Amino acid sequence: MKGAEEDYYIAKTIQESDKISDELSLYDYNKRGLQKYMLGDYVGAIKDYDQAIELSLDTIDVDPIKKFGRTIACRDAYSSRGNAKTMIKGYHGAISDYNNAIKFGNNEKTDHNYFNRGLAKANLGDIRGVILYFDEAIRLTPDFANAYFTRGYVKLQSGERDSACLDWSKTGELGFSKAYDMIKEYCN
């Protein structure tokens, strides 16, 4: 029942914020976009992230502290919009958004944007791109277990079994126990 109550609250908040949409800040659009994303309204989320990006890019007469805040909000909006586009199979658009999020990244969350870009490349069948972006995510965050695990799976699919097994071994060392199931099945 608690989940239903949370969904009702989120839906009510979205409905109320739609009534005053001309007064929303870029931060409000980011929050509302996340709420819509969580409810499965990916198209609605994309529209809110569009608004957040538009507002965050307007830096005329903005002091440096506000500009920094807008840069972070812009990065988050691009990244979140990329996630929403992925959910509706808009992989090319998602990759473009992850590229922009990386550009505005300030190194925070950049590893996840590389990882997500790699996942989008996987959906497009670009195995070289997948491995390249997972490599970069791992370079930025050497203990990124999910990147090792997924890269191992992609390597297995491309015939690089030994290298996949090494990735899963590293994943297991990082505490991701499902890696040992993959090692058991494919590496012995």
pLDDT class of 4 with cuts at 50, 70, 90: low
pLDDT class of 71 with cuts at 50, 70, 90: confident
Residue 49, pLDDT > 80, answer yes
Fold identical between 1-106 and 127-188? Answer: yes
With a CB cutoff of 8 Å and minimum separation 6, the contacts of 69 are none
Residue extents of the structural domains in the chain: 1-106, 127-188
pLDDT class of 66 with cuts at 50, 70, 90: confident
pLDDT mean across residues, the chain? 88
pLDDT on residue 67 = 80
Distances (CA, A) of 12 to 22, 39, 121: 18, 12, 36
Q: Which CATH architecture has domain 127-188?
A: Alpha Horseshoe (1.25)
Residue 6 vs residue 78, higher pLDDT: 78
pLDDT on residue 24 = 80
pLDDT class of 3 with cuts at 50, 70, 90: low
Please report, rounded to a whole number, the percentage of residues in the chain having pLDDT higher than 90.
72
With a CB cutoff of 8 Å and minimum separation 6, the contacts of 158 are 127, 131
Question: Which fold does the domain 1-106 belong to in CATH?
Answer: 1.25.40
Do 130 and 154 contact (CB within 8 A), yes or no? yes
Residue 23 vs residue 147, higher pLDDT: 147
The pair of three-digit structure tokens given for residue 42, joined into one six-digit string? 């990916």
Q: Whole-prediction pTM value?
A: 0.82
Residue 147, pLDDT > 90, answer yes
Residue 38, pLDDT > 70, answer yes
pLDDT on residue 105 = 72
pLDDT on residue 19 = 46
